Amino acid sequence: MAHDEPHHDYHLVDPSPWPIIGSVGAFVMMIGAVFWMHENYDFFSLGVAGTPWVFAVGFVLVLYTMAGWWRDILKEGMVQGKHKPVVALGFRYGMILFIASEVMFFFAWFWAYFNSAIFPSDVGIGSWPPEGIATFDPWHLPLLNTLILLTSGTTVTWAHHAILTGDRKGAVNGLLLTVILGLLFSCVQAYEYSHAAFTFGFNGAELVPLTGDAHANLAAGVGDMGAIYGSTFFLATGFHGLHVIIGTIFLIVCLLRVLKGHFTPQAHFGFEAAAWYWHFVDVVWLFLFAAIYVWGAGDMAAAAAAH
């Protein structure tokens, strides 16, 4: 009886090693990040302080989990035929909820940015951007990256339409262009970061001891003004850049699957999920560009001199 065909449309998954392997990998990554970022502490005389090797081991385990787990999911759906319509609907709900969680994730960065930008006096800053910060010219590299991402949104839509109409060549061309544009965006952003006139950290400001009086701390100049701008800028744009890299990898996998003939006009949720994710990345960038680069722009003459 245990091997009879089920009389329902749900997929009762088989025992899998990937959840525990992925959990171990994520835990090792977390511990490795702590070791890596605390170079002045020798943890239990292990000699790992300030080194990325423990983090790298955890990262490899996570990548291995992703490859193995997604391979099994493809096998379940394409070979075993276990992804019935109700299962596919669950996948869609899951992806929608995941993107909703990502929206909340970025909401935190926008909150941190606007808290300092709209109420600078509350964080001990006289103006926004802080005096002495040379911001990026929004109509230079940021505008270029905006055009790149918007164009990539059209090419991924082209690929989606091609899959729906059974045009395999169009799907390949559209996905290939989207991947190239995603890689180009990352390269431009890396170039932009390398020419930033401010840093993520404290920019050389001298710190003074904290006291119990918050107003006294602000009056004494605790907290570097440049660090507030740099941390909010790099956290918001940097996490978006990470999402672009993840989305590009997602699309590369879809491109390989298109070349192997995995997608049909009736069954192509793997591509749809990647397209939804990519459009989400596009929309977030438009908000970042408008809020951080355009609305938060400072003295363009100073910025031009700094760059």
* CATH architecture observed for domain 84-306: Up-down Bundle (1.20)
Q: Taking the complete model, does pTM exceed 0.95, yes or no?
A: no
Give which of 16, 6, 159, 156 is closest to 75, Cα–Cα.
Answer: 16
Q: Taking a C-beta distance cutoff of 8 angstroms, is the pair 137, 231 a contact? A: no
Number of neighbours of residue 213 by Cβ within 10 angstroms: 10
Other C-beta atoms closer than 10 Å to the C-beta of 187 total 12
Measured between alpha carbons, how far is 52 from 72 in angstroms, rounded to an integer? 30
| pLDDT confidence of residue 64 | 96
Q: Tell me, what's the pLDDT at 230?
A: 87
Confidence (pLDDT) at 187: 98
Q: What is the CA radius of gyration of the chain?
A: 24
257 alpha carbon, distance to own chain's centre: 23
CA within 13 Å, CB half, 260: 10
d(CA 247, CA 249) in angstroms, rounded, equals 5
Question: Hey, what's the torsion of the CAs at 283, 288, 293, 296, to 10 degrees?
Answer: 130
CA distance 129 to 197: 13
Average pLDDT per consecutive 10 residues, the chain (307 residues; last block may be shorter): 62 88 96 85 71 92 94 86 85 95 93 89 79 88 97 97 95 97 97 88 43 42 62 92 95 95 91 97 96 81 48
Distance of CA 30 to the CA centre of its chain: 17
CB 56 within 8 A of CB 75: no
Q: How much is the pLDDT for 47? A: 73
DSSP letter for 138, please.
T
pLDDT at 56: 95
Tell me the domain boundaries of the chain: 7-83, 84-306
Query: What is the rounded CA–CA span in Å between residue 184 and residue 192?
Result: 12
CB contact at 8 A, 64 and 25 = yes
d(CA 201, CA 179): 32
pLDDT value for 126 = 76
User: Are the C-beta atoms of residues 99 and 272 closer than 8 Å to each other?
Assistant: no
Architecture of 7-83 per CATH?
Answer: Orthogonal Bundle (1.10)
- State the helix-helix crossing angle for 53-74 and 18-37, rounded to 10 degrees: 160
CA-to-CA distance for 193 and 236, rounded, in angstroms? 13
CB 298 within 8 A of CB 134: yes
Reference 17, options 68, 62, 51, 85; nearest CA is 68
The full length of the chain comes to 307
